Amino acid sequence: MFCKAHSKGYREVISGIRAKTLVYGENTLVAEFRMEAGSILPEHSHFHEQTGYLVEGKMHLTIDGQTFEVERGDCWCINGGSGHSAEILEYSVAVEVFSPLREDYLPEGGK
């Protein structure tokens, strides 16, 4: 699968946080998140492993009760089943990979 960059396809996940699936395969899915300053991603967990990279911005990311100050260029990996949350301190953009494929993030008509 190949996907040319474009600005369409973002959906609001929660207030102030929009997501867009960039590309996916049989076992992984890559998504971009655009997050407004002051947004809060409440603690949650899912069975997918989640690996991320902060393209721009600043946030506090809490994984299994440990909080990290994440800045541009920082990376993380969250094991499946681990509780995690985020407080967005500045407008931020993150790219994340989910494995196995996160079917709830597939665009309409996907797979």
Domain that holds residue 57: 12-103
Q: Coil, helix or strand for 21? A: strand
Confirm whether 81 is domain-assigned. yes
pLDDT in tens, the chain (111 residues): 888 888 888 999 999 999 999 999 999 999 999 999 999 999 999 999 999 999 999 999 999 999 999 999 999 999 999 999 999 999 999 999 999 999 999 987 565
Confirm whether 35 is domain-assigned. yes
Confirm whether 74 is domain-assigned. yes
How many distinct structural domains can be found in the chain?
1
State the CATH number of the domain containing residue 83.
Answer: 2.60.120.10
Confirm whether 69 is domain-assigned. yes
Q: Express each pLDDT in 10-29 by its tens digit.
A: 999 999 999 999 999 999 99
**What is this structure's pTM?**
0.92
Distance CA 33, CA 19 (A): 4
Alpha carbons within 13 A on the beta-carbon side of 24: 22
